[in-house]
């Protein structure tokens, strides 16, 4: 277990951050959010995490996650699942509204979100895979 300088973000903070991300995306009409997103990844944050003073830390070295690590954490899982499920669905069933591949995609996304309730470690599935923790830098 890594000793961090800050406590892990609570479930309330993580949920607030999720809703804040959607709100910021809408308010900035998506474009501003995307620019802010790419810049904030270098600090181990996303726009919502930055506003709430949350930061993603690398669990292997106890330091804030770097840009590449954040890119994989934030987008890599979704790209991998999308390529593994949505592309075959399109190729095998063009024009179909919903296939088994689509259902697998949404089940994995839901599992990622709900994983935070497992074991009391406050980690999403993507945190487990990428070996990261989200810390609350506003708390001492």
Residue 22, helix vs strand vs coil = helix
Confidence of residue 1 (pLDDT cuts 50, 70, 90): low
- Strand ranges inside the chain, DSSP E: 54-58, 132-136
Sequence-ordered list of residues with C-beta below 8 angstroms from that of 95, at least 6 positions apart, any chain: none
pLDDT digits (tens, 9 = 90+) for 51-69: 999 999 999 999 999 999 9
Greatest extent of the chain over all pairs of C-alpha atoms, in Å: 53
Is the pTM value of this prediction over 0.85?
yes
Q: How far apart are CA 57 and CA 40, in angstroms?
A: 14
């Amino acid at each position: 277990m890594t000793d961090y300088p800050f406590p892990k973000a609570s479930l309330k903070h993580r949920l607030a951050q999720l809703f804040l991300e959607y709100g910021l995306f809408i308010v900035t009409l998506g474009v501003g959010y995307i620019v802010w997103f790419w810049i904030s990844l270098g600090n181990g944050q996303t726009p919502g995490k930055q506003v709430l003073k949350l930061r993603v830390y690398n669990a292997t070295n106890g330091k804030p996650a770097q840009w590449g690590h954040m890119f994989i954490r934030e987008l890599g899982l979704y790209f991998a699942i999308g390529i593994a499920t949505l592309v075959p669905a399109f190729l095998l069933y063009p024009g179909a509204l919903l296939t088994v591949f689509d259902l697998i995609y949404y089940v994995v996304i839901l599992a990622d979100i709900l994983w935070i309730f497992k074991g009391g470690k406050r980690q999403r599935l993507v945190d487990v895979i990428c070996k990261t923790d989200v810390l609350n830098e506003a708390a001492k």
